[in-house]
Structure 1
């Protein structure tokens, strides 16, 4: 009997809570805010490649090319924590033989990909120039596949933009409430997301072109522009008549 009473009580509570929830009236708004920021750091995707008839030779060439890159990193005082090897591979290379109609191994290719963060953005052009190899043989080299501008004060700008986005959302909610002749009681839910509109700039093949075509007095120039930090907010406001 007691178990039956407890079960009926629980069911009654759930029904009452569900009915109360169904009677809730809310206004839901989406809002955003943006901050235009001058970047003070840049992230580069650096690719060190080499190829040779044997795996050992390909590794040796890659190691030699890496030392040139490391020398440039040291010269521009890039900290160790700002350099990370993201990938390393050593694989055979094949070509398709039309006569035998089979793949034929022609050598090995070694590839190391680095993520480099440069804190002095004004040095980027000179840094790219420093990594250009002067080798005339097409057996090893350095590619910069992309660069991406950023700021180390991103969190501060996000918090600042977040406040603006919430204010914008409240202004929208107030206008909707006024038009609907209702009053806002309070906030029942808030959520947010962050994005920035500075996608990586593709630069594939750039270093090879520079190595063979750049004149001695030429130097690379880059323009940082601004990055946009955007915050999106969704808010739910309780209303009453």
Structure 2
């Protein structure tokens, strides 16, 4: 009986060792460099530019009345006119999204005494309602005209634009390729100076994104003060710069 138990125990040992060996293999993920070779890590950036094809902005209405319900009712009427104007200007329903709807009390300032102190507590003197939508404008040449149309329809809050690329993958890939070419050129330069040559890429790490250029935009508050009809508000879309930063580790050999 003892011999049978011992044999069973010994037979189970290889089964326990197999997962341990597998785990040991998983822990070793670093690239293996050939004996006598060395490692070089360089960083480089690549860039590409594109003209934006999408502008995002916020537009809305703020109203004030003695009661919250009155402020909200007045706001709803004016905001409906703004949304109608957006649609008439060619903005699709899918490109209009409510971003803020709020009602808040407006407090009066306490009476200030001669010694600089105040008397009494702040009291509610009115209520302010705000309704804003986020809009995506696809026809950039019509942007200034759309903003003017909104202001004429009753919008008293306009903020933006933020220029974007609807599909930035191609531009980012172009920046990545430029970054990798620059990294390889630097690696070849360093290797040659050290009397070595680049054998292969060991690791690649990437970071990056896009950076918008400054734009010109006339805010709605200024446009509302203009009495006579004026040309559409000037807007310069400029260019978007896509950036990719790579850190590449190479194996060098004699």
Q: With structure 2 as the length reference, what TM-score do the two structures score?
A: 0.77
**Deviation, structure 1 residue 164:** 1.5
State how 1:42-57 maps to structure 2 within 5 Å.
42-57=55-70
Deviations 1:4-27 (A, max 9, x none): xx7xx97xx79xx69997988421
Deviations 1:33-62 (A, max 9, x none): 211211222111223222111111111122
- Mapped partners of 2:150, 2:32: distance in 1: 64
Partner residue in 2 for 1:220: 233
What SS is found at the alignment partner of 1:222? coil
Partner residue in 2 for 1:238: 251
Partner residue in 2 for 1:153: 167
Contact 1:43 1:149 in 2 (8 A): yes
1:69 aligns with 2:88: no
Partner residue in 1 for 2:141: 122
Partner residue in 1 for 2:131: 112
Higher mean C-alpha deviation, range 148-157 or range 115-124: 148-157
State how 1:187-202 maps to structure 2 within 5 Å.
187-198=201-212
- Mapped partners of 1:185, 1:87: distance in 2: 57
Deviating runs (4+, > 4 A) in structure 1?
Answer: 17-24, 199-204
- Against the structure 1 CA distance between its residues 200 and 18, is the aligned structure 2 distance closer, same or farther, given a 3 Å change threshold? closer
State how 1:172-191 maps to structure 2 within 5 Å.
172-191=186-205
Contact 1:147 1:202 in 2 (8 A): no
- Mapped partners of 2:216, 2:119: distance in 1: 39
- Mapped partners of 2:207, 2:43: distance in 1: 11
- Against the structure 1 CA distance between its residues 188 and 58, is the aligned structure 2 distance closer, same or farther, given a 3 Å change threshold? same
Compute the RMSD of aligned alpha carbons. Answer: 3.2
Deviations 1:161-203 (A, max 9, x none): 2111111111111111112222322112112223222168696
Q: Which 5+ residue runs of structure 1 have no aligned equivalent? A: 136-140
- Mapped partners of 1:20, 1:134: distance in 2: 64
Contact 1:44 1:144 in 2 (8 A): yes
What SS is found at the alignment partner of 1:161? helix
- Mapped partners of 1:203, 1:101: distance in 2: 44
Q: With structure 1 as the length reference, what TM-score do the two structures score?
A: 0.81
